[in-house]
Chain A
Amino acid sequence: METLENLEELRQVDESTLARLHQRLERESEEEGLLAVAFREIDSPIGKLLIASTSRGLVRLAFQNEKREEVLDELSRKLSPAILESPSKLDKESRELDEYFRGERRDFDLPLDLSLSTGFRRRVLGEMARIPYGATSTYSRLAVAAGSPNATRAVGTACATNPIPIVLPCHRVLRTDGSLGGYRGGLEAKSTLLELESR
């Protein structure tokens, strides 16, 4: 029926209009304090990264191998469904990560929101944050530092579930024999980061 086809044409909305409206929504929801989580995607030498922040700070960094949809679902479930892609809210995080990957930054100067991590895992993240740029530690040494020398395996889990990798440098944690162990973003990403920091 021709009239229906005509109506269908009127439903078409061009992408640039929607992008402009989205930006307006980002701005106004921020002004009204309605946005619980902002996120953006950035390019890096180890693939696309998704970064997310709350009003308290950077709350999540996800690697390309973690599916965008699953990451956003996790944030929605554990934090709030009031989530929008809002790149301008993550300018500083994005800039510092760029500088890090260019080898121009050794320490991050970013507020962090650790609410995706609790208890022992959170303590491990605190200890991990002290491992300096270019250095490495081991799962067992970190267990000792976190006050539970027998908890090497739990340290491994804390690393594997680190919500803010790279910024909280679980890539600097190796096995006692010097082998890489595991990495949320894949072992290739782990080697690339270690290589970058050894330059």
Chain B
Amino acid sequence: MRPFEEIVREHGASVLSVCRALVGTADAEDAWAETFLAALRAYPSLRPDSSIRGWLVTIAHNKCMDLLRSRSRRIANETELTEDAGMQTRAAGSDLDLWKSIAGLPERQRLAIVHHYFGGLSHAATAAIIGGSPESVRKASSDGLFSLRSKITGGD
């Protein structure tokens, strides 16, 4: 079994971008820390043939959903998430707009895009986390991308 340190080095960045996209930059570090603590606790008894990436993104997903639930007002209030998500991005301008656009997508499209493009999961692995068929995840992802593209190029 690989040393946990290697798992953190290899997947730390992508887990953080998943967390940023799901709970916003301000809370992403809490979600990241909770994800890796839970992962470290479970890691020694993880089945050796497990997909580490899928396993970590699942934990991150659950931690993020917990965080969002514990602040249930946020679920109904996308604008706050939107602002948090944009607040600490490196460059202002287009990055900020993109975070806002992602946060503004319907949940299923957002999750499909985040897990696939940030978490690096296949549509099938994403479907295992968020439910539905791989094909429906693919569709949600492509609808989401279409919507993002029109927001970016539409300049609204």
Residues B84-140 near A (CB distance < 8 A): 89-90, 94-95, 98-99, 102, 113, 117-118
Interface pair A75/B32, CB less than 8 Å apart: no
Q: Which residue of A has the minimal Cβ distance to B146?
A: A3
Interface of A is mostly: helix
Given contacts A13-B17, A25-B37, contact A72 B117 (CB under 8 A): no
Shortest Cβ distance from residue B109 to the other chain A in the assembled complex, whole angstroms = 13
Given contacts A3-B148, A10-B99, A84-B8, contact A28 B13 (CB under 8 A): no
Q: For B37, give its contact among A6, A18, A29, A73 (CB under 8 Å).
A: A29
Task: Tally chain B residues at the interface, Cβ within 8 Å.
Answer: 37
Given contacts A34-B37, A72-B3, contact A11 B14 (CB under 8 A): yes
The answer, yes or no, to whether A9 is at the interface (CB within 8 Å) is: yes
B6 surroundings in chain A (CB, below 8 A) = 72
Interface pair A14/B90, CB less than 8 Å apart: yes
The answer, yes or no, to whether A197 is at the interface (CB within 8 Å) is: no
Shortest Cβ distance from residue B129 to the other chain A in the assembled complex, whole angstroms = 18
The answer, yes or no, to whether A7 is at the interface (CB within 8 Å) is: yes
Interface pair B13/A82, CB less than 8 Å apart: no
The answer, yes or no, to whether A130 is at the interface (CB within 8 Å) is: no
Q: For B118, give its contact among A6, A11, A76, A83 (CB under 8 Å).
A: A11
Q: For B1, give its contact among A3, A11, A28, A76 (CB under 8 Å).
A: A76
A25 surroundings in chain B (CB, below 8 A) = 8, 33, 36-37, 40
Q: For B17, give its contact among A11, A35, A84 (CB under 8 Å).
A: A11
The answer, yes or no, to whether B71 is at the interface (CB within 8 Å) is: no
Residues B1-49 near A (CB distance < 8 A): 1-6, 8, 12-14, 16-17, 20-21, 29, 32-33, 36-37, 40-41, 43-44
A82 surroundings in chain B (CB, below 8 A) = 4, 40, 43-44
Q: For B33, give its contact among A8, A14, A24, A84 (CB under 8 Å).
A: A24
Q: Which residue of B has the minimal Cβ distance to A86?
A: B5
Shortest Cβ distance from residue A40 to the other chain B in the assembled complex, whole angstroms = 11
Interface pair B4/A83, CB less than 8 Å apart: yes
Shortest Cβ distance from residue B57 to the other chain A in the assembled complex, whole angstroms = 13
The answer, yes or no, to whether A17 is at the interface (CB within 8 Å) is: yes
In the bound complex, what is the Cα–Cα distance between A146 and B13 (angstroms)? 51
Interface pair B37/A28, CB less than 8 Å apart: yes
Q: For B44, give its contact among A7, A21, A81 (CB under 8 Å).
A: A81
In the bound complex, what is the Cα–Cα distance between A6 and B102 (angstroms)? 11
In the bound complex, what is the Cα–Cα distance between A28 and B32 (angstroms)? 12
Known pairs A4-B145, A20-B29. 20 more at Cβ < 8 A?
A3-B145, A3-B152, A10-B21, A10-B95, A10-B98, A11-B17, A11-B117, A12-B13, A13-B17, A17-B16, A24-B29, A25-B8, A25-B37, A29-B40, A32-B37, A75-B3, A76-B2, A76-B3, A80-B44, A82-B43
User: Could you write out 20 A-B pairs with CB less than 8 Å apart?
Assistant: A3-B149, A4-B145, A7-B98, A7-B113, A10-B20, A10-B98, A11-B117, A11-B118, A13-B12, A13-B16, A21-B16, A21-B33, A22-B8, A25-B36, A28-B37, A29-B40, A39-B5, A75-B3, A81-B43, A83-B4
